[in-house]
């Protein structure tokens, strides 16, 4: 049985950003699973034209980020999770600049005290059962 999914995107409209949702279904095509989306998505975003190569990154339970796989940009150059997060921050800052607060010296001191004995390494591999 096919499931209906809602796909959201952000579109600038007159300086503000509006969220547009595109409905779709998960179905089977030949021996593959496929996601069928509204034609209006493809009319609004020609970069997702037929036969475009795309990448899908599962970023959370029930959440997937789909992007055009550009041959010129390697996966190591662009982190889709970071790109999505930075896009979110950009939207939030534009919509509510009054919510931006400076980081106080007190909060920095608290963070340093809490983490003073923590040893970290960029080479450390996280176990599979860690939730972030």
Q: What does the pLDDT look like over 11-58, one tens digit per residue?
A: 444 444 456 788 889 898 888 888 888 888 888 888 888 888 888 888
The number of beta carbons lying within 10 Å of the beta carbon of residue 27 is: 13
Q: If we measure between CA atoms, which residue out of 3, 2, 8, 43 comes closest to residue 22?
A: 8
Which are the contacts of 8, defined by CB distance < 8 A and separation ≥ 6? 19, 20, 21, 22
88, containing H or E segment: helix 80-95
Banded pLDDT at 74 (limits 50, 70, 90): low
């Amino acid at each position: 049985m096919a499931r209906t999914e809602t796909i959201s995107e952000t579109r600038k409209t007159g300086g503000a950003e509006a969220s547009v949702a595109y409905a779709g279904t998960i179905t089977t095509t030949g021996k593959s699973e496929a996601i069928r989306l509204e034609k209006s998505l493809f009319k609004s975003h020609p970069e997702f034209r037929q036969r475009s190569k795309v990448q899908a990154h599962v970023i959370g339970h029930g959440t997937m980020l789909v992007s055009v796989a550009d041959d010129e940009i390697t996966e190591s150059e662009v982190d889709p999770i970071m790109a999505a997060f930075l896009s979110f921050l950009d939207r939030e800052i534009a919509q509510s600049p009054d919510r931006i607060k400076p980081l106080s010296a007190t909060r920095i001191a608290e963070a340093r005290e809490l983490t003073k004995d923590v040893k970290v390494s960029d080479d450390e591999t996280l176990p599979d059962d860690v939730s972030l």
